[in-house]
Structure 1
Amino acid sequence: MRDRTPRTDRPRAARRLFTRTSWPEARFLADVLRTESVGGVLLLLGAAVALLWANSPWRRSYAALGDWVPWPGGTPLHLDLDLATWAADGLLAVFFFVVGLELKREFVAGDLRDPRRAALPVVAALGGMLLPALVFTTVVLAAGGAGLRGWAIPTATDIAFALAVLAVVGSHLPQGLRAFLLTLAVVDDLFAIVVIAVFYTAGFHPVPLLAALLPIAAFAALVHRRRTWWWALLPLAAAAWALVHASGVHATVAGVLLGFTVPVRASRDGAPGLAERLEHRWRPLSAGFAVPVFAFFAAGVSLRDADLGAVFTDPVVVGVGAGLVLGKAVGVFGSTYLLARFTRAELDEDITWPDLLGVAMLAGIGFTVSLLIGELAFGAGSTADDRVKVAVLTASLVAAASASVVLRRRNAAYRRIAEREAVDADGDGVPDVYQRRPDRD
């Protein structure tokens, strides 16, 4: 731990990074962390089953399951999709709907509404996206430039996977550090949505996209009147999804747009806002079903007949691996360090730079969105896409293992701090640490 001796030369109004959030925000983050941690375990289970099945003697049945088309032949709006595509385009829309709810809540009522608090995760997320993209581009260009379309693959952080690792190895890390990882991943998801919509839209058709505004507007009108009739909202959401899919824009963007329409503010009687209630209702479905099922269909790459030497020397594989493992860690840590240096901010007294390094390394776990971008860049089932899967899986495991080494050593040091902060001397249900007067900037 760092020297806690007061410094007389330190300005009393020094700005601090990773300061403690409010008690309601802390409780909300705790609920999210629990759900996403369980979801991360299910995600890993789905990916493991897929890998085992795809490399077993029954691997053809795994491929046949993903290729099965439930509604073949000329369905409206090109919805004759196989199961693997339904998982990527359909189920992930639920995941991105929750992301939309989360983003709006953070910008309206969460930490991101305060520009000073928002600066840290935004800068860290930008650094954690730009440097991996630069690393990938440098590696691929040095090898001739083939595969540049996959530049965005190593830019995404998988929140469920990362939080599952954090829950196992960092159960006593400071709440501000854990909140930083969650907020960083939320901002990272926002940038990933923009990248998918702008750079990975093929065959754009504006008429269906404009038509999608009608069910989205109707959805918005109902939720703003607190009319949460499932028999009305679900068909409107399905219509918006189908029209966005037909436009050529990735259909998951419909989930984000629908999430943005939901009001955040609490009602007059003090009840939680509708966005928080819907997020609480849909997050278990997203984390516990949608993302694990997508992982099951996306992660099943067969290595039985593969030339592993050729796979791991492929420039795209090297670029993805280096981008996730090195680019993410250096980008997140470096941008945060530069922000602190140029603004003369200081870390919160309970957090050290090695703690941040561990979390920055953890941000190199890029699974769900990275696999999705790989499919969009190279085509699902292609040789390049299979190699991207190998790169993402390998790099994510390396990032998780290396981050675990750092965070395990830090976790023991914070166990005593966590025990101290749990004290509730007055018995009012709120830990005493949340009732102390915070330092003012």
Structure 2
Amino acid sequence: MSHVPQIRIPATYLRGGTSKGVFFRLQDLPAPAQQPGRARDRLLQRVIGSPDPYGKQTDGLGGATSSTSKAVIVAPASVPDHDVDYLFAQIAIDRDVVDWTGNCGNLSAAVGPFAIAQGLVPAHRVPHDGVCTVRIWQANIRKTIVAQVPMRQGQVQETGDFELDGVTFPAAEVALAFMDPAEDGDDGGALFPTGQVVDTLDVPGVGRFQATLINAGIPTVFLNAAELGWRGTELQADLNGDAIALARFETIRAHAAQRMGLIQDLSEAAQRQHTPKIAFVAPPADYTASSGQRVHARDIDLLVRALSMGQLHHAMMGTAAVAIGAAAAIPGTLVNLAAGGGTREAVRFGHPSGTLRVGAQAEQRGGQWVITQAQMSRSARVLMEGWVRVPGDSF
């Protein structure tokens, strides 16, 4: 029996927002993995430690949660007036799935700092002190993200006093603007794929539900918590041990994906776990976050709980936060109604780890709603840099 030695690949392990991922420069990947395909998928899976039937990712860098089973590939920009291309992979923990269908809003905060540190942003555009503007082409969804990265003494500033619920320690703030975050479409109604701000979903064996189906940041399905028998104050332990409830959410998600035109057959949803996201909303209420922090109804506009890769998220996915901000800005959506209705350009919502503020600007063009941009702040920090090692025959 032959034993193939391991190879090593330059990589950086970063936290971005409430997620962690392994970052690569495209040029550093082995030649077979520099192109989309099975070799790339297998390499990233081996780095992360998937698929792992034990669900622990012990033999890889993944953290056995959807927030920590991620990889990013950054390359010189392929689009004019941008600095870098950013490609995101959501890697299933226990199944042979690498999902390239969406973005990670949390890790978006780490792309700018990584690009600067790796010399991918022209030196004349990087201030010695101040803020560096990095224009990022998000290649999964073909959209622009503008990151404002703080600089100090010629280096990316990573430490600071910006606090983000769901992250233990404060860090430097990275402001993000997601430009024209709705998915592209020819009918002018891509923001709402059905053309309606509220639809009714008939899900056989589950029930009939109101839903807002929106493409902003990431395709997202918003439901009313009360219609599902939930309060909107739930923490992970309240839902993630309930196999029946999780299966119910997955069935609703599959039917919504079909309604949104993301899949043709319901069976396709199993291979498209990253999108759409599914979330439920409720009016403000007091609750205790997972950290023990008390969140008061008076301090938030609404409650939101979201699922990622079949589990209730410990905080909020960044792209789903963009969808929340976009939906809140448009009168009549379930998100907007849960926040009290009316016109608004920003909301603060309660999630399992605390609260988050997100803003969005909406306008009507030709009778259709358009989101010009959405904004939020995250933080990012390098956790480790050097090389990852994988068996040479793993891809």
Question: More helix by proportion, 1 or 2?
Answer: 1
Question: More strand by proportion, 1 or 2?
Answer: 2
TM over 0.5: no
User: What's the TM-score, normalizing by structure 2?
Assistant: 0.28
- Larger relative contact order (C-alpha < 8 A, sep ≥ 6)? 1
User: What's the TM-score, normalizing by structure 1?
Assistant: 0.26
